[in-house]
Structure 1
Amino acid sequence: MTQARNTHASPAPLPAAEADLDRRSIRARTEPMTITALGDAIYEIGTEHGTTYLVDLASNRCSCPDHTYRDVRCKHLRRVAIEITEGRVPPPGKLAVECDVCGEELFVDERTVQEESHYCETHTLEPGAFVRDRETGDRLLVVHVSDRRADRVRIGESAYSVATYPNNRSYDPTDSVVGAVYPQSVEMTGRGPEPDELRVYSFPYSRLERIA
């Protein structure tokens, strides 16, 4: 699992009603800053001058002199609020991580950020999803997504784990294990699927690509 840095240096665009903004609001929107969510509603702000401040949204405080000595809502507090509102920085209680498959940034609960795998909406697999095997091109149906790692799940009575099985060795051994069946082998009858017991195959998560 890779945690994203959440830094956004580009200034946000000014709204159309620029004349209605006060000086601090204009500077909050136009000055280059980097904003990094640290967790516990704390955000690190880096300025173009190389100075770093901490914003605590839980107490609505900032460590900059403007807020500390003038007790005003400084540009840093305002900029964090803008970035959260416009979806570029995670809100309190969430942190940014990268999808383990494509690297897309997504926001997750900070209590689960240390989990081994995180997936964006496009690459999230759940029972009932149709997938393509990246190795063979075969179409499969997901029936189970495990919270166990591929290097810790054995394949039947063999000496292989899911991760060390020959066709799986190029995939991340910390991937979750996904159970899938070949739907073309299933015959639906009035009593349900035949045969009664379907053979479920185990795959590393990233070997399977979600399809429509």
Structure 2
Amino acid sequence: MSTTPSIESSLNKRSASALTSAMVVLPTDDSERFKVVSDSGRIYAVDLRAGVCDCPDCLHRGVRCRHIRRAEYARGERTIPAWVDRSRLDPLLGQHVSGAPRIERVDGTTEVLEA
């Protein structure tokens, strides 16, 4: 029996989905704006500078949605907790954007997440 918590039980729902769902973050002409292709195939516009996305979760609930979080994780602006099982992470995390996903080490420092 593993003592490592599951991603879904230990992170909030949106962060867990941002790390494990098959999504692709694509750059635009602006280094702070991205197109995020979700696992449903829908394409959302994310503006990290403004902290907004055009998905219903962000527009109607006013929350930091999984698309914003995915872009932050992909660029290394949001650190993946050390206990996260790397095999559960979406292998596309961090592809196509400048920057790189960062994961926390047990000692509290961070490292670039290798694909």
TM-score above 0.5: yes
Q: Which residue of 1 aligns with 2:72?
A: 81
**Ranges in structure 2 where 5+ consecutive residues have no aligned partner:** 80-92, 100-115
1:90 is matched with which residue? Answer: 98
Structure 1 stretches of 4+ with a deviation exceeding 6 A read none
Q: Find 1:66's aligned residue among 49, 57, 67.
A: 57
Q: Name the SS of the counterpart of 2:28 in structure 1.
A: strand
Other-structure match for 1:42: 33
Matched length: 76
If the length of structure 2 is used for normalisation, what is the TM-score?
0.60
What SS does structure 2 have at the residue aligned with 1:66? Answer: helix
- Give how far 1:90 is off: 1.3
Instruction: Determine helix, strand or coil for the equivalent of 1:39.
Output: coil
Match of 2:18 among 20, 28, 52: 28
- Which has more strand, going by share of residues? 1
Structure with greater Cα Rg: 1
Please identify which structure carries the higher helix content. Answer: 2
Q: CA RMSD in A?
A: 1.9
* TM-score, length-scaled by structure 1: 0.33
Distance across 1 between alignment mates of 2:40 and 2:48:
23
Q: Give 1:20 deviation, angstroms.
A: 2.3
1:51 to 42, 54, 72: 42
Quick one: higher RCO (CA 8 Å, sep 6+), 1 or 2?
2
Aligned counterparts, 1:48-197, within 5 A: 48-85=39-76, 88=94, 89-91=97-99
1:113 counterpart residue number? none
Q: Unpaired runs of 5+ in structure 1?
A: 1-15, 92-212
1:105-152, Cα deviation, whole Å (9 max, x unpaired): xxxxxxxxxxxxxxxxxxxxxxxxxxxxxxxxxxxxxxxxxxxxxxxx
2:65 partner amino acid:
C
